Structure 1
Amino acid sequence: MAKSQQTNKELTEVFNQIWCLDTNRLRPGTDYIISLQGRAGFVAQGSNNARDMARAPLFKYVNEAKLKSIKTFANFISLLDNYEVSTGVAETVTPEELQENRLFIDSIMETDVMKCAHKYLVKKGQSPADPAQFKRQLYDIWFRLYHRDRSGGEDSCGFEHVFVGETKFGREIIGLHNWVQFYLQEKKNLVDYKGYKARDNKDTPDEDDHVLNLQFSWKGLVKPVCGCFIGVSPEFEVAIFTIIFLMTNEKMTTVVAKVDEYLLELVVYRNGKSIGTSFPKLLSSNNRDV
């Protein structure tokens, strides 16, 4: 396990470059509005009893016209209905879905965010310089199917777990760390936001924060705490978590980085040559002390 509470200065610098290049990021209060409401309480893993500290949805408004007018977001959204949610159920990938995967990778590779990430990984000797080969590497990291539940076939991939979400043995939610998927599921009344998570009342997040720790229910199950970026582009998340994944061979890697005003733990688990899971954990924001 690679873990350090010391801020990684080199990756902090790279991630802030990528942050500044994320021109597709939506603006809080303008492109979307969230309602944090109450602070969620403790819920044991596997328990489905959570006191609802948020009577209204997390997302009060999202400019869907703008969201769907941005190519990377539009291609990202097209992937969200391609997966079986339950682990243990083998995935069937159609030719159309394979094409959607490739279109998504093609579109993110057109952004300065991914070009910056690619340049850094080439410099560090972790990725091929040829963009076509790098796209294949990205495909293997995020879309290659593998066994998450050994009782079934190839039932998962990094993209499904991180961005879509899964249920494990029908008893717990795993993954689902993406704000767009959260919003779309909430809009369909499939997600019930229970409140934000914070260590104490002094660490209350702001409604313009781009990183939150949340509690919610989905498909009749409760996720006690879930770290999510809010408003960022899919290419931003793919970029930073791909970098962390490729910079170590450890089963689990945690990088502490100050990105914009947020002090974060960025966590990546690997499943062979693919991402098992990846998510941010907000330590502090708005220059508050940890």
Structure 2
Amino acid sequence: LRTTLLFLSPKDLYTAPDSCEGRCEEPYSEEDECHCNTECERYHNCCEDYYRHCQPEGFSSSWDAITDEDLLRISEQLYRADHNKARPTDIAINPQYQASPDETDDQEDRSPQPLYKYVNEELFSKPTYASFIKLLDNYQRVTGREEDVTAEELREQDNFLKEVMKTELMKKLFAFLHKKNRYGSEQEFVADLKEMWFGLYSRGDGEQDSSGFEHVFSGKAHTSGMGGAGQCRDGGLTPGSRLCLGEVKKGKVSGFHNWIRFYLLEKQGIVNYFSHNFNGPWDTYPDVLGLQFSWDGFYKEVGSAFIGCSPEFEFGLYTLCFIARPGRACHLSLGGYSLSIQTYPWTKTTYGNGKKYIATAYVISP
């Protein structure tokens, strides 16, 4: 008899911890980085290649899967349901210089005037706007500094969620996700929204210093040892209120994709608009711009943002894409025009039964 010895490499013996190759329908383990069973769609913690290895036919292989066609339909419905968006007369912008791709990183101010010529601030008295703006003063700017969440701030989070869930837009989103078996009740949906958006995790050295909401809507400045605590300045919309700066890291702005925050900080002289590299095809609001700007001395090379939408519109679309296409481009249709959103989950820590927080979400600009 002749014995043949097979020498297997580690690649043959072990599956990569972030892959579903050979792991489909593997029982859940909290030690896994990502998951490959059918429940991972519900908990938005699938490995990036889950659909390639475990669902060869793609999303359409399951009755409650969210297909590309589903996303086009529901995004148009949400677009039409944004009743709190700005009217054409509510906002006047002055985009000025359009930067070429090789000009976006040169940090040169090519637009002498502010981006916003006029905003009808009566918009900000609407309940979803008012509750959203109250959240903007709750964050430290610099990564690595622990966020101290007070009882009042927790109430403000709950109030924002309560107000957005009163809107037709968010009710349509919940109905869609409920039909797709992602949530059993509105209460479950709201509880998950609070965790995925407001749950704290560390972008620094272990401090609970960031959340999806702060990163996307408030922004973070990355200082890389440049110092400086998160700054707050007087000048909110109500007497005695303050607007705090968000996230900065390695001398650059991280996140910061919200038009309301941009307008309020530009009005105070804290944000300096430099140029834009993309202007969407919409002739009404919401529109989309890709922006270059300086934020209290820190630069943002490309900050894409909806212009003139309601808070619930952004919040709803980003939530939809995070649940349906986490870590991938999410292709939507708004008013007959194509638009894509990119989301990424935070992979280092989880909540609940292995669910992942939102790391970032933004409009993909060409």
Do both share a fold (TM > 0.5)? yes
Superposition deviation, residue 206 in structure 1: 7.2
The percent identity for this pair of structures is 38
Specify the alignment match of 1:286 in structure 2: none
Would you say the 8 A contact 2:212–2:359 is kept in 1? yes
From 191, 215, 220, give the equivalent of 1:136. 191
Superposition deviation, residue 208 in structure 1: 4.5
Return the alpha-carbon distance in structure 2 between the equivalents of residues 279 and 175 of structure 1: 8
The residue type paired with residue 226 of structure 1 is: G
User: Are residue 76 (structure 1) and residue 132 (structure 2) matched?
Assistant: yes
Return the alpha-carbon distance in structure 1 between the equivalents of residues 73 and 157 of structure 2: 30
Equivalent residue of 1:78, what SS?
helix
Specify the alignment match of 2:324 in structure 1: 247
The residue type paired with residue 213 of structure 1 is: G
Moved over 6 A (4+): 203-207
Would you say the 8 A contact 1:228–1:281 is kept in 2? no
Superposition deviation, residue 247 in structure 1: 2.0
Superposition deviation, residue 40 in structure 1: 2.4
- Report 1 or 2 for greater relative contact order, CA contacts < 8 Å, sequence distance ≥ 6: 1
The residue type paired with residue 91 of structure 2 is: Y
1:57-206 to 2 correspondence within 5 Å? Answer: 57-64=114-121, 66-129=122-185, 131-149=186-204, 151-168=205-222, 169=224, 170=249, 171-198=251-278
Superposition deviation, residue 239 in structure 1: 1.0
Return the alpha-carbon distance in structure 2 between the equivalents of residues 270 and 110 of structure 1: 27
**Residue-pair matches, total:** 268
Deviations 1:14-61 (A, max 9, x none): 011001010000023x0111001011245689x6x5121211111110
From 266, 282, 285, give the equivalent of 2:341. 266
The residue type paired with residue 75 of structure 2 is: F
Superposition deviation, residue 204 in structure 1: 8.0
TM-score, normalized by length of structure 2?
Answer: 0.69
Equivalent residue of 1:197, what SS?
strand
Superposition deviation, residue 89 in structure 1: 0.7
Would you say the 8 A contact 1:40–1:51 is kept in 2? no
Unaligned runs of 5+ in 2: 1-47, 52-66, 225-248, 351-355
Specify the alignment match of 1:218 in structure 2: 295
Deviations 1:208-227 (A, max 9, x none): 46111111111212111111
Unaligned runs of 5+ in 1: 284-290
Specify the alignment match of 2:246 in structure 1: none
Return the alpha-carbon distance in structure 2 between the equivalents of residues 206 and 109 of structure 1: 27
The residue type paired with residue 275 of structure 1 is: I
The residue type paired with residue 69 of structure 1 is: S
The residue type paired with residue 39 of structure 1 is: Q
Return the alpha-carbon distance in structure 2 between the equivalents of residues 90 and 219 of structure 1: 21
Return the alpha-carbon distance in structure 1 between the equivalents of residues 73 and 100 of structure 2: 35
Provide closer, same or farther for how the CA distance between residues 39 and 236 of structure 1 changes in structure 2, counting only shifts above 3 A.
same
Return the alpha-carbon distance in structure 1 between the equivalents of residues 142 and 309 of structure 2: 27
Equivalent residue of 2:135, what SS?
coil
Would you say the 8 A contact 1:44–1:224 is kept in 2? no
Superposition deviation, residue 241 in structure 1: 1.2
Would you say the 8 A contact 1:36–1:207 is kept in 2? no
The residue type paired with residue 200 of structure 2 is: L
Return the alpha-carbon distance in structure 1 between the equivalents of residues 101 and 148 of structure 2: 37
The residue type paired with residue 134 of structure 1 is: F
Superposition deviation, residue 238 in structure 1: 1.2
TM-score, normalized by length of structure 1?
Answer: 0.86
Return the alpha-carbon distance in structure 2 between the equivalents of residues 59 and 152 of structure 1: 38
